[in-house]
Amino acid sequence: MPEGRPPIPMAIQRDVLVEAGHRCAIPTCRQVPTEFAHIDPWCKVQEHTFANIIALCPTCHSRYDQGHIDRKAMFQYKANLSVLNHRYGDLERRLLEIFAAEPEMSVIQLPGGFRIMLSYLIRDGLLVPVDLGGPKGFIMGMPMMKHFGLTQSGREFVTRWAQAQPVG
Ligand SMILES: [Zn+2]
């Protein structure tokens, strides 16, 4: 009897999508839609495990299958997602994504009240509030807009992430 490939269990699909934020797991891509990719190929492992499946967009999936992204890098992208998900909040991860995708960018302007949602990046020394002057408006005691700058450690962090090196 020919053996078909069973579908990926729903629980694993869900965990893989949540891990990647329902976007391509490659930090400089982060496109939708996503597909499920086996890091060690299905033909070799013949099983679906969370540790071996990652969410990729169709373009990155093809690039991976064609060998343009290597296996070690793909496992590292997955490991780094886990670190980021456990250490930082949604807004913090988005900022890291923006900085990873824009190597020339080092400052971002956000409403001042967002600072609390960036507190782990600030505490870890990856991001720092910066005063670039400009009008000083306040809403409910908080600055209307605030600039946040990526530190040298922050740039090293996002570079490691983008280059599939361990982030910590
Ligand atoms: Zn992609």
In a domain, 2, yes or no: no
Sequence-separated (6 or more) residues with CB below 8 Å from residue 99: 105, 106, 108, 150, 154, 155, 158
Q: What is the pLDDT of residue 3?
A: 67
Does residue 58 lie in a domain region? yes
CA 94 to chain CA centroid, nearest Å: 7
> Are residues 114 and 81 part of one domain?
no
- Region of 30 please: left (phi>0), alpha (psi -120 to 50) or beta: left
- State in Å: Cα 113 to ligand 1 middle: 32
Please tell me the distance between residue 25's alpha carbon and the centre of ligand 1 in angstroms: 7
Instruction: Quote the ligand 1 centre to 114 CA distance (angstroms).
Output: 28
Q: What is the pLDDT of residues 39-67, one digit of tens each?
A: 999 999 999 999 999 999 999 999 999 99
70 lies in the same domain as 102: no
pLDDT digits (tens, 9 = 90+) for 125-141: 999 999 887 777 777 77
Where does a domain end: 56, 87, 118? 87
* Shared domain check, 72 and 114: no
Same domain assignment for residues 95 and 138: yes
pTM for the model stands at 0.87
Q: Which of 35, 67, 87 is the last residue of a domain?
A: 87
Place of tokens 């782990």: 120
